[in-house]
Structure 1
């Protein structure tokens, strides 16, 4: 069978890479496309995933988003028509949705972000099947025009797809169960000019150019909390800031000169998380990764996410919406080693019980292949 993957973000690279490898091993012919987008481009090279770059990221401007998406659809239509796949798989790519629908190709889509309304409205109604974590109610998807029998749920979160496979690096086995590996990789930290002798706080900035951020009133202004963390904790800890866009890197480098390490290169996010002490996240994916790796994790997400809500419910993430809250949480995590160990153990137990979405995908593809 010929399968087209459209892979647009760093998360999607991590998520789909194992599926691509498995399906190729099974004899399927796979074409992987992406777009020119800094983090995805560099991470694909880092992960050894060969992507055909078609089109560009539209940025934050609505006209630019429309223009770049339209151009990309036209280019993809020619390429995909020639490749003639039997199946399309994406993480709700609007361009893959339009092209697959226009060419009459079945499209399997993954999505864990019903809050991203623009993407959902452009993709969900056109999917053959939608795969989604079971912590997101099917009602959250039905409003976008998909029926219940088209939604396939899995009892886990998306990072399980890569965390469960990173056994050598991320975990070791004890009594047949995966456990987080402890200890820091000093060479890795040295390469990033991070002092391994100090406690470290990693901050991941928000997806500022996403439509679901730029078009809404926010419950939290993440940068205000980032300012507080840097200004109040930089003297005794190492603050690392991981940006998403070049302009964020420029702005943060000027704003926190000599106070924080603003990473300019794209790094292996899992490896970075393994080597820090506390994570503060304004987005979704890395917050979930950190939580499932058992790191003390604080969410400063500017809008409400189903995944964040679930992680808070099971005690792996704590929400902070004010300087007072984040100050108290950081001091507690920095001082209470026993609490950090308890969090790590709780995360290991939860991760072991989660269902792998890639196994679910591969099994479903095998049923199609037999028809």
Structure 2
């Protein structure tokens, strides 16, 4: 089977990497496309995945996004039309289901963000829509999907790929118990259409903490790199290339995340996590908060961070969500293989 994956944002690489490698190992032909958004290209290179960059990202402005949407759809169609594909698979790629429809092939679209407007055409054109069990089906139906093609997978998206490495990460973390405190910070998704929160709102707290703690910023793009390289952040490490996720998870004392996927990833592994997301929380975030896996502090201060660090203890990865992640992985794989020889 010839399967097209459009990996259009950084989190999609971790989500699909193992599945792509397993499918390739079983003889399936995989084609990967991407766009230059956040750390996507760097991560694809880091994971040694073959890919083709198609189109660009049109920034946060809604009108530019609307203008750019049909352009990338056309570019993808032109690139793929002679590849004789059997199936399209994507997570939150708003282009993939429509391109698949134009190519005359089925598509599987997965999503866990009920607030993104780009879901509307994706839900309409997708052959099958897969969402986590904690995301309300009713919210998806209101955005254009149908009960017939919408299915829920166990757990949360991040569990799909974390279940393989949770024990290894915890083992490494126990070896580093006496290490100095290391704070990793993932800034806000500044170019996301759905994000309406503040920008650079953690600056004051980070400046106050940098003299006493090792702080590493994990920027999403060059704008954030430039911002945190100002002299006022002189003692903060700003990484040039994306760090390996395992390195972050194994060495992080406290994680502060202003976005979604990476914050949930760290929290699921039992690592002390603070979400500072300033917009309306997703259903999946509310679920993780209720399970006590992370703290939500949208107006974070240095004193709140210090207080949090004084009370934390490293937990084990959430066993239930790791098991559900394994179930979800094979559920999605089986959904893909249903299209084999159709």
> TM-score over 0.5 for the alignment?
yes
What CA distance in whole angstroms lies between the structure 2 residues aligned with 1:84 and 1:335? 58
Verify: 1:321 aligned to 2:298, yes or no.
yes
**SS at 2:49 equivalent:** coil
CA distance in 1, matches of 2:186, 2:324: 25
- How many angstroms apart in 2 are the aligned matches of 1:256 and 1:124? 45
1:361 aligns with 2:332: yes
Tell me the matched-pair count. 340
Alignment match, 2:285:
308
Q: What does residue 211 of structure 2 align with?
A: 235
- 1:102-140 CA-to-partner distances (Å, cap 9, x unmatched) read 222111001010111x21123111111111110101011
1:335 to 294, 302, 310: 310
Q: Distance in 1 between matches of 2:73 and 2:58?
A: 13
Say which SS state the counterpart of residue 325 (structure 2) adopts. Answer: coil
> Residues of 2 paired with 1:16 and 1:80: CA distance?
20
The reply on whether 1:289 has 2:265 as its aligned counterpart is yes
Per-residue CA distance 1:270-323 (angstroms, 9 max, x = gap): 321321100111100011111011111111102122121111100001111334
- Partner in structure 2 of residue 109 of structure 1: 109
Q: Are residues 1:11 and 2:11 paired?
A: yes
Q: 2-side partners of 1:148 and 1:327: how far apart? A: 47
Is the 2:218–2:238 contact (alpha carbons within 8 Å) kept by the matching residues of 1? yes
Q: Structure 1, residues 19-56: CA drift from partner, whole Å, max 9, x if none?
A: 11122222222211112335111111111111111111
Aligned partners of 2:207 and 2:233 also within 8 Å: no
1:351 equivalent in alignment to 2:304: no
Greater helix share, structure number: 1
1:222 Cα deviation (Å)?
5.7
TM-score computed with the length of structure 1 as normaliser: 0.85
- Deviation, structure 1 residue 155: 1.6
Kindly state the Cα deviation for residue 160 of structure 1 after the two structures are TM-superposed: 1.7
Q: How big is the shift at 1:169?
A: 4.6
**CA shift at 1:351, angstroms?**
3.5
Q: Does 1:261 align with 2:237?
A: yes
With over 3 angstroms needed to count, the CA separation of the structure-2 counterparts of 1:352 and 1:247, relative to structure 1, is closer
Residues 152-161 or 305-314, more deviating: 152-161
- Please, which moves more after superposition, 161-170 or 144-153? 161-170
Cα distance, 1:92 vs structure 2:
3.0
Q: Provide closer, same or farther for how the CA distance between residues 68 and 267 of structure 1 changes in structure 2, counting only shifts above 3 A.
A: farther
Q: Alignment partner of 1:249: what SS?
A: helix
Cα separation, 2, equivalents of 1:270 and 1:157: 19
Q: Give the Cα–Cα distance (whole angstroms) in 2 for the partners of residues 75 and 157 of structure 1.
A: 32
Q: Where in structure 2 are there 5+ consecutive unaligned residues?
A: none
What is the TM-score with the length of structure 2 in the denominator? 0.91
Deviation of 1:349 after TM superposition, in Å, equals 2.6
